[in-house]
Structure 1
């Protein structure tokens, strides 16, 4: 789209807002329609992140030529495997697929082939790849994005939310078609297909052994007794959040956990003097919070958490210069190679080669830094064939010079 072209607001779905499908009979009709439709299937899902526990889908939207748009409530219909089977041979079009695939998998919708319009935009060098921006830039249409952060567990869903949800898949296939042509014209289509396949093949993440260590602000906590308080409060909050089906941050913010670990309150009064504990939900469980702090204070030394978990990866890059100056030089050289290549191919460096692969390669390089051993190491680190073909020789040369 050029600057002179007029941007057209996309205000209503072409066939109007479809009714939300909430029963098996309605789902069966959707399955029949989409089984006989044509071409790719646009799919999106709405969650209630920040409101509910976990990241389950609360609305699934689909659109296909010849089938129209469907809005499905997975709260009432938690098994979409029949729909998945009906479109099994079709290409599924998503935007930022890695965000939606986990919750779609939970309801039995698992694509075999996929086109990710956000990832395509990154490979093509678009500076901003949000769906609204991409639709406007590529198609000259403006999507209203006012409800992306809404509480989609709300029932019944307001009409303007449903309009927004239907519009999210309204032109997704059209966007895919233009991006597909651009990928083909730029010689990047095979790269994109490898990336899409890699996203689909990515296994579900294994649960973290110590998820409480992800508490925002935990870096301020300097001793193991205080870390034990973080662990106990985090665990208590998680149990309450799971039971009440609330996002943990709505039960107790991370800031409250960290402040309590630093202040070590011994009474309810001391807890109430911490501003982050003054929220209505936090006040409701004062006895639980105080009991968690008391448990941490009473733990024997041999049950206190270690300051840091052992890691199989390299240390943070900002420490390399002190710990291993040679590795720091390798990292700088490799990053420079990837940055130059990324600029040449008009894409972000992190899409040309994963930053973690660069760090691991340069922290512990193969003994032989020839092109083939470097390529094998990159492959073992998850790099795709197209990435290895572009980077292995130049990385080999850079490492061999040091």
Structure 2
């Protein structure tokens, strides 16, 4: 048989596109959804009888619900198959927690799923994060579907990734999509682990995974309303106060109804109302973009929030910029401390060069915030000690601290 590489090329002809990778299919068919305590005991028993690590995924209703709770948990282990657990009406997850305590968990993008799993009472004793492994290996795209296709040769269905998982009953195609997300996680983990070993990065990965086992989602920011999209268009502290008042009013409604805030009122409407500061309902609802059921249904709430902002004493108005407990933004360093700016430029370049030589994203080699904190006010006991205090892992400290010390020595503080 003649290969395609041996075929003569005819000028003007284009090579046919490569055949798409085959779709991944469920090996054991779609399992039933477990939604009661008796069924959960069976799931726990099957997992306990299996061998090796346990692949885990969770589905949330991001973009639909205020809460970040898990609405479906998928699990797979060799010898026990795949299980789908609806946690909403479960009264006791201890049997599942006991079955999951001990074996390694395999997750993709663990920081996304660990908070909602912990909320259920499920926590890992050890884990392997396939997304983070892909980053450490220098894969340019580390989404689950991309890694699965590149490493296993199969395509994942992703058409249901943004659906409302709080829907009940969950449609069969959605459940098939969810089950497929853990179908090959064990194989993916083993392949990535081999690659980490071959690249000399397995020790780095173990430290990262150990760190993730204690991961907890960061608490709410001091001024979360400052993340309002379009806030840069708001002028004046009084109008900023209006954004703040409207944001908190909307957030209270969203929390009570368990609906994502943007479905009550979009950020653009908050900015329009805060800029115009209307005094009565009709003027408010006449604003561009101030439309929809949330705008009219809660009009009295919005008017009251704006009244509160208008009457606020000057000394209680928010500052024009947010307070920050760390160093100033890098763009301000040259004006505020040119020597520190020179330190930062040297260290940044060195860290970026080292990351490239190691085929690592620079943020995985060293968290940018750590870099800035060390260099703005260099510690007396050296960069290594300060990086460790901030939370850098030992492998990161070993690689990055000498570069930061060199920059500090070249540009010492006054």
**Same fold, TM-score > 0.5, yes or no:** yes
- Between 92-101 and 254-263, the greater mean CA deviation after superposition: 254-263
1:295 has 2:308 as partner: yes
CA contact (8 A) 2:62 2:68 kept: yes
> Residue by residue, what CA displacement relative to the aligned partner does 1:23-55 show, whole Å, maximum 9, x if unpaired?
111101000000111001000000111100121
- Which among 332, 341, 345 is matched to residue 354 of structure 2? 341
Instruction: Output the CA distance in 2 between the equivalents of 1:272 and 1:64.
Output: 55
- The 5 Å alignment of 1:110-259 reads 110-259=123-272
Q: CA deviation at 1:385?
A: 0.4
- Give the SS at the match of 1:156: coil
CA contact (8 A) 2:327 2:373 kept: yes
- Which among 378, 390, 397 is matched to residue 381 of structure 1? 390
* 1:59 matched residue in structure 2: 72
CA contact (8 A) 2:54 2:75 kept: yes
> Residue by residue, what CA displacement relative to the aligned partner does 1:97-149 show, whole Å, maximum 9, x if unpaired?
00000001111111110100000000000000000000001111110111111
- The 5 Å alignment of 1:352-363 reads 352-363=365-376
Instruction: Output the CA distance in 2 between the equivalents of 1:27 and 1:81.
Output: 9
Structure 1's unaligned 5+ residue stretches are none
- Which among 357, 370, 377 is matched to residue 364 of structure 1? 377
Q: CA deviation at 1:78?
A: 6.0
Q: CA deviation at 1:377?
A: 1.4
1:393 has 2:406 as partner: no
TM-score if structure 1 supplies the norm length?
0.94
- Give the SS at the match of 1:277: coil
1:23 has 2:32 as partner: no
Q: CA deviation at 1:5?
A: 9.3
* CA spacing shift, 1:225–1:79, aligned 2, 3 Å: farther
Q: CA deviation at 1:178?
A: 0.2
* 2:48 matched residue in structure 1: 35
CA contact (8 A) 1:20 1:72 kept: yes
Larger radius of gyration: 2
Instruction: Output the CA distance in 2 between the equivalents of 1:159 and 1:282.
Output: 35
- Give the SS at the match of 2:72: strand
* CA spacing shift, 1:174–1:5, aligned 2, 3 Å: farther
- Which among 85, 99, 106 is matched to residue 112 of structure 2? 99
CA contact (8 A) 2:36 2:89 kept: yes
Give the RMSD, CA atoms, in angstroms. 1.6
Q: CA deviation at 1:207?
A: 2.8
Q: In the comparison of the two structures, how many residue pairs are matched? A: 395
Q: CA deviation at 1:221?
A: 2.3
- Give the SS at the match of 1:9: coil
* 1:278 matched residue in structure 2: 291
Instruction: Output the CA distance in 1 between the equivalents of 2:306 and 2:95.
Output: 49
Q: CA deviation at 1:14?
A: 0.8
Instruction: Output the CA distance in 2 between the equivalents of 1:18 and 1:11.
Output: 16
Instruction: Output the CA distance in 1 between the equivalents of 2:238 and 2:280.
Output: 18
CA contact (8 A) 1:53 1:247 kept: yes
Q: CA deviation at 1:278?
A: 0.7
**Which runs of 4 or more aligned residues in structure 1 lie more than 6 Å from their structure 2 counterparts after TM superposition?**
none
* 1:332 matched residue in structure 2: 345
Q: CA deviation at 1:204?
A: 3.8
CA contact (8 A) 2:28 2:81 kept: yes
Instruction: Output the CA distance in 2 between the equivalents of 1:338 and 1:318.
Output: 18
* CA spacing shift, 1:313–1:65, aligned 2, 3 Å: same
- Between 269-278 and 25-34, the greater mean CA deviation after superposition: 269-278
CA contact (8 A) 2:355 2:362 kept: yes
Q: CA deviation at 1:350?
A: 0.4
CA contact (8 A) 2:111 2:217 kept: no
- Give the SS at the match of 1:63: strand
